[in-house]
């Protein structure tokens, strides 16, 4: 008798995707965030971390893409972690829903605002 | 050797607050279990000390308690594990996260409610095999859920879980272990229904892989691994 696997279909649910996002973004952030810290603070001395350095870096679209990806993954990752911690302590469902909505709006605005800054930044204006 | 025990006491009838009871026992052996010492306190010093126990051999799961800060069965925890030399200090509390009824006895109903919610019973409405006997299973298929058949529902895992402490609505490790036992049984047909139950907001996603449950399990079930397998079954759609 052969060992058999069953195919099953489960309901879609936000918590499931939030959990998967945390795991996958966590792996990506391990490289992106550590790389960012290494480049900004160790390879380039922290005392040289000026606007000119950022302008030089962002003259390359590759670095803008790197920083945009870091932004898009890190902010929602932090948001979801905070939401989980708050859910542990706030058992009033209505209050938790309000806090979740406020946090979600904050995250969306922060990501969009920061993306606009990264994309529209003109390195030539610094020189 | 001498044993000094601090036992968390609580009597709701007297209207008193929880407090520590201090007891000293002489002539304690390294081979005595914590349950033996609690029996000696109850029988020799204070008959009002209340605790649950039944088989006293790690099978019934009645005497899960917090011993020196970690969940364990009192009957399986030997003095030798807690200290050596001429004296040993032992602190005993009821398991956390469930309402205390009296002293070391907790109300297990919230735990059992989560247990029942995952439908911990065999589901298969198909007709019986033509020979009228048992439904066969390969050794490999049996192996998939062998570990989770060992659960004795002592609640040591669930009540060691920080997610459960934070929110009692979380179904908890023990209920997920019970769900795992049937989800991965090739003869069972209720996997989809059970997975949808533990896929809810207070299901497996509340597990933060703290591993407290695996450390606490007196049956040495790899609880966190079982939870991970259930999570994987939900995300992959393959059991």
Binary contact (B200, A13; C-beta < 8 A): yes
Angle at B18 between CA B14 and CA B19, to 5 degrees: 110
Check residue A1 and give its pLDDT. Answer: 59
Q: Does B45 score more than 80 pLDDT?
A: yes
Test mutation, A3, A82, A90, chain B, max B CBs within 10 A: A3
When the pLDDT of each residue in chain B is averaged and rounded to a whole number, the result is: 96
Binary contact (B192, A10; C-beta < 8 A): yes
Structure tokens at A53: 């350095």
* Minimal Cβ distance to A20: which of B167, B235, B239: B235
**Position B130 confidence tier, pLDDT thresholds 50, 70, 90:** confident
Residue A43 at interface with chain B, using a CB cutoff of 8 Å: no
Q: Does A90 score more than 80 pLDDT?
A: yes
- Cα separation, B151 vs B66, in Å, equals 18
pLDDT tens profile A91-125? 999 999 999 999 999 999 999 999 999 999 998 88
Mean local confidence (pLDDT), B229-237: 94
Angle at B161 between CA A92 and CA B217, to 5 degrees: 155
Mean local confidence (pLDDT), A35-62: 90
List, in sequence order, the alpha helices (H) in B6-122: 34-40, 79-82, 109-117
Check residue B16 and give its pLDDT. Answer: 81
When the pLDDT of each residue in chain A is averaged and rounded to a whole number, the result is: 92
**Position A48 confidence tier, pLDDT thresholds 50, 70, 90:** confident
- Cα separation, B210 vs B16, in Å, equals 34
Mean local confidence (pLDDT), B219-223: 98
Check residue A13 and give its pLDDT. Answer: 87
Mean local confidence (pLDDT), B32-58: 97
Check residue A73 and give its pLDDT. Answer: 98
Better pLDDT: B97 or A89: B97
**Position B206 confidence tier, pLDDT thresholds 50, 70, 90:** very high
Mean local confidence (pLDDT), B110-130: 95
Check residue A2 and give its pLDDT. Answer: 59
Q: Which CATH number fits domain A14-125: 3.40.50, 1.20.140, 1.20.1300, 1.20.120?
A: 1.20.1300
Check residue A38 and give its pLDDT. Answer: 92
Residue B238 at interface with chain A, using a CB cutoff of 8 Å: yes
CATH class of B2-105: alpha beta
Mean local confidence (pLDDT), B200-209: 92
Residue A12 at interface with chain B, using a CB cutoff of 8 Å: no
Check residue B70 and give its pLDDT. Answer: 97
Check residue A11 and give its pLDDT. Answer: 87
Contact B230, B206 (CB under 8 A): no
- Closest CA in chain A for residue B163: A88
* Minimal Cβ distance to B199: which of A5, A7, A13: A13
Q: Calculate how close chain A gets to B66, using CA atoms only, in Å.
A: 22
- Name the DSSP letter for residue B42: I
User: Which of B:218-237 have CB within 8 Å of A?
Assistant: 231, 233-235, 237
Q: Calculate how close chain B gets to A58, using CA atoms only, in Å.
A: 37
Which residues of A fall within a CB distance of 8 Å from B137? 1
Check residue B120 and give its pLDDT. Answer: 97
Q: Which CATH number fits domain B108-236: 3.60.20.10, 3.90.1150.10, 1.10.3720.10, 1.10.1060.10?
A: 1.10.1060.10
Check residue A98 and give its pLDDT. Answer: 97
User: Which of A:84-123 have CB within 8 Å of B?
Assistant: 84, 87-89, 91
Q: Same topology for domains B2-105 and B108-236, yes or no?
A: no
Instruction: Classify A98 in phi/psi space as left (phi over 0), alpha (psi -120 to 50) or beta.
Output: alpha
pLDDT tens profile B79-109? 999 998 899 999 999 999 999 999 999 999 9
* Minimal Cβ distance to B199: which of A6, A11, A18: A11
* Minimal Cβ distance to A16: which of B167, B191, B205: B205
Domain ranges of chain B: 2-105, 108-236
Q: Does B15 score more than 80 pLDDT?
A: no
Domain ranges of chain A: 14-125
What percent of chain A has pLDDT above 90?
69
């Amino acid at each position: 008798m052969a060992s058999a696997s069953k195919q099953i279909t489960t309901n879609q649910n936000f918590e499931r995707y939030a959990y998967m996002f945390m795991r996958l973004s966590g792996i990506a952030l391990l490289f992106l965030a550590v790389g960012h810290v290494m480049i900004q603070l160790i390879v380039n001395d922290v005392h040289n971390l000026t606007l000119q350095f950022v302008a030089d870096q962002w003259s390359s679209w590759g670095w803008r893409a790197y920083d945009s990806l870091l932004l898009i993954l890190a902010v929602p990752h932090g948001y979801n972690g905070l939401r989980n911690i708050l859910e542990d302590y706030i058992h009033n469902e209505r209050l938790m829903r309000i806090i979740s909505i406020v946090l979600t709006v904050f995250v969306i605005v922060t990501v969009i605002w920061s993306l606009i800054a990264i994309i529209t930044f003109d390195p030539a204006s610094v020189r | 050797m001498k044993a000094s025990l601090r036992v968390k006491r609580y009597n709701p009838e007297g209207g008193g607050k929880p407090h520590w009871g201090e007891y000293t026992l002489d002539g304690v052996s390294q081979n005595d279990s914590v349950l033996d010492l609690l029996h000696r306190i109850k029988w020799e010093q204070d008959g009002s000390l209340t605790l649950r126990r039944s088989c006293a051999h790690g099978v019934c799961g009645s005497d899960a308690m917090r011993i020196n800060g970690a969940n364990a069965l009192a009957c399986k925890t030997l003095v030798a594990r807690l200290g050596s030399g001429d004296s040993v200090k032992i602190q005993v509390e009821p398991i956390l996260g469930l309402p205390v009824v009296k002293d070391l006895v907790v109300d297990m109903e919230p735990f059992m409610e989560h247990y029942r919610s995952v439908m911990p019973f065999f589901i298969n409405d198909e007709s019986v095999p033509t020979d009228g006997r048992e439904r066969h299973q390969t050794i490999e298929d049996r192996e998939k859920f062998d570990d989770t058949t060992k659960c004795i529902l002592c609640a040591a895992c669930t009540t060691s879980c920080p997610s459960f402490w934070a929110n009692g609505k979380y179904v908890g490790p023990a209920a997920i272990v019970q769900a795992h036992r049937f989800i991965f049984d090739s003869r069972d047909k209720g996997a989809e229904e059970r997975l949808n139950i533990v896929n809810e907001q207070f299901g497996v996603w509340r597990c933060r892989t703290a591993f407290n449950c695996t450390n606490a399990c007196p049956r040495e079930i790899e609880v966190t691994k079982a939870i991970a397998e259930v999570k994987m079954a939900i995300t992959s759609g393959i059991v």
